[in-house]
Amino acid sequence: MSTEVIHSLIPLPQSFRKDEGRFNCKPTLTIAFETCSDAVSHAGKLLEEWLKVRQPELTCEVLNGSSDIRFLEENSDNEEAYTLTITPDQITIRGSQTGWVRAAAALVMLYDQGGWNACHIEDAPRFSWRGMHLDVCRHFYPVRLVKRLIDVMALHRMNTFHWHLTDDQGWRIDIKAFPPLSNISAWRDKDGETYGGYYTAEDIREVLAYAQERKIQVVPEIEMPGHALATLSAFPELSCAGGPFQVSNTCGIFDDVYCAGKEATFDFLEKVLEEVCELFPGPYIHVGGDECPKTRWKTCPDCQSRMKQEGLKDENELQSWFVSRMGRFLDSKGKHMIGWDEILEGGLPPTAIVMSWRGVAGGVEAARMGHDVIMSPTTHCYFDYRQSTEPEEPGNLGIIPINTVYDYDPVPEELDAKAASRVLGVQANIWTERMPSWKLLEYMVLPRLCALSEVAWTSPKQKNWKHFEDRLNRHLGFLKAYGYTYRHPLRENREFPL
């Protein structure tokens, strides 16, 4: 491929042809559609919202007829595929409604000093799962900020928001059946102050609607059987040994987890998941499954008698039994269960999807067993790891510089074609233990998210670090125009958003 930089599109589209001329934008743009449909008004409104950031005086008028920008419905095997043609007279977007949103994101990124250079793009993503995770438990972030992450994802044509809603340090979703989760489990004592918060059903619907406009699916995570201290602080009877417990103000892995022997645990979790399934319309529910110590289960009479009764040979099999039982429950609600790669230990529920985080071994094993897999290894996809050796950057985890993210290929070489087809895609995770401010969070995420978007969207043969770096250099102005905080990969003496 040519490495000449003629645009600063990130991620790089599958094909880009530069044409002659330029479409200059008038203060009022019109957007037309073939048949009168709400869908065009939605895509048009989103485009207007995005363009106004670059050119505030712009207003879009949705018209059924001749216009500057046309959205044309065109079916393709991939609903995210689109073509975008810019000529001096007109801009034409072809695709499904999802494709239109991806095209709108590209169009907004191509906007340059009052207009667009003529070009023709044909595009579709490499992977169907292009994800970002957000932990709102270690630090709580309100809807307004969650939307900022979703928006920057959509601008980079990413499509999956994994919302980590429960953990030891806080429970963040109001559940009508259990008010103590919002009254007790959502709050912790932080140096004498009460810290925390939770989302109401209305908050969640607001986020879902915002994500839906951007054609981003939202996957909630309700952790089990570990990372349960926040729950147990309100419901100590769901533990093996009883409480009292407190919502944790420190990070780590805690021995007190849901008891796998008591039926009350399953009554509770099923009621919670029932509400979660009703609230979140998407097909996936993440149940965590990571980092669950078996210490309490080993000495708990209820857990031990469960193991006997079910013929389970050790506590790993008990975890597998636990997760499988919840998987069957989710199946009955028409949902697919996702879990971190620990759910492989002791046997995997037949329909589970594995998110491989402790390297790629879990993903490789699961893909070979015929399970769908999402790659999110700590080696490339953990955006709480530092970007550089700069002393201000938080934490003592490893360093994942942006070029390491960029060089990642989510399909491990050792997989044959059949197993490789099980890799749905890639996701980066934002664990917020060390991110007490949103500004710092953005600094840790950007511009690594830009690199990840290209890993997820662009075919490997088109990827080229040098070319990306040149585009990124220009693209930083785009991030700045949209008000995002980011780490400048080239400049010395960066401002650090403490």
Footprint on this chain of ligand ACM (rule: CB under 6 A) = 290-291, 340, 357
Separation CA 297–CA 301 (nearest Å): 8
- Closest by alpha carbon to 92, among 120, 128, 54, 123? 120
Structure tokens at 163: 């919302």
Q: From ligand ACM, Zn ion, none, which one binds at residue 340 (CB under 5 to 8 Å depending on kind)?
A: ligand ACM
Cβ proximity of 152 and 214 under 8 Å: no
CB nearer ligand ACM, residue 125 or residue 226: 226
Q: Considering the complex, what minimum distance in angstroms separates the CB of residue 357 from ligand ACM?
A: 4
Q: Considering the complex, what minimum distance in angstroms separates the CB of residue 450 from ligand ACM?
A: 22
CB nearer ligand ACM, residue 83 or residue 169: 169
In the chain, what is the straight-line distance between the N-terminal and C-terminal CA atoms, in Å?
40
Tell me the residue type at 283: P
Q: Considering the complex, what minimum distance in angstroms separates the CB of residue 262 from Zn ion?
A: 6
Q: From Zn ion, ligand ACM, none, which one binds at residue 240 (CB under 5 to 8 Å depending on kind)?
A: Zn ion
Cβ proximity of 61 and 27 under 8 Å: no
Q: Considering the complex, what minimum distance in angstroms separates the CB of residue 299 from Zn ion?
A: 9
- The CA-CA-CA angle for residues 469, 472, 476, to 5°, reads 145
CB nearer ligand ACM, residue 99 or residue 363: 363
- Write out the residues near Zn ion by the rule CB under 5 A: 240, 259, 261, 300, 302-303
Cβ proximity of 456 and 158 under 8 Å: yes
Q: Considering the complex, what minimum distance in angstroms separates the CB of residue 297 from Zn ion?
A: 6
Helix (H) or strand (E) holding 443: helix 438-445
Q: Considering the complex, what minimum distance in angstroms separates the CB of residue 399 from ligand ACM?
A: 17
Strands (E), 409-490: 423-428
Catalytic residues: 167, 227, 291
Do the strands 217-224 and 91-95 form a parallel or antiparallel pair, or are they unpaired? unpaired
Q: From ligand ACM, Zn ion, none, which one binds at residue 261 (CB under 5 to 8 Å depending on kind)?
A: Zn ion
Separation CA 438–CA 457 (nearest Å): 26
What residues form DSSP beta bridges with 199? 173
Q: From ligand ACM, Zn ion, none, which one binds at residue 302 (CB under 5 to 8 Å depending on kind)?
A: Zn ion
Q: From Zn ion, ligand ACM, none, which one binds at residue 357 (CB under 5 to 8 Å depending on kind)?
A: ligand ACM
Separation CA 382–CA 358 (nearest Å): 11
Residue nearest to ligand ACM (CB): 290
Half-sphere exposure of 260 (CA within 13 A, CB side): 34
Q: Considering the complex, what minimum distance in angstroms separates the CB of residue 346 from Zn ion?
A: 16
Helix (H) or strand (E) holding 122: strand 115-123
Q: From ligand ACM, Zn ion, none, which one binds at residue 82 (CB under 5 to 8 Å depending on kind)?
A: none
Q: From ligand ACM, Zn ion, none, which one binds at residue 312 (CB under 5 to 8 Å depending on kind)?
A: none
Separation CA 232–CA 247 (nearest Å): 8
Q: What is the DSSP string of 180-237?
A: HIIIIITEEEETTEEEE--B-HHHHHHHHHHHHHTT-EEEEEEEESSS-HHHHHH-GG
Q: Tell me the C-alpha to C-alpha distance, in Å, between residue 459 and each of 122, 249, 420, 450, 464.
A: 13, 43, 14, 15, 11
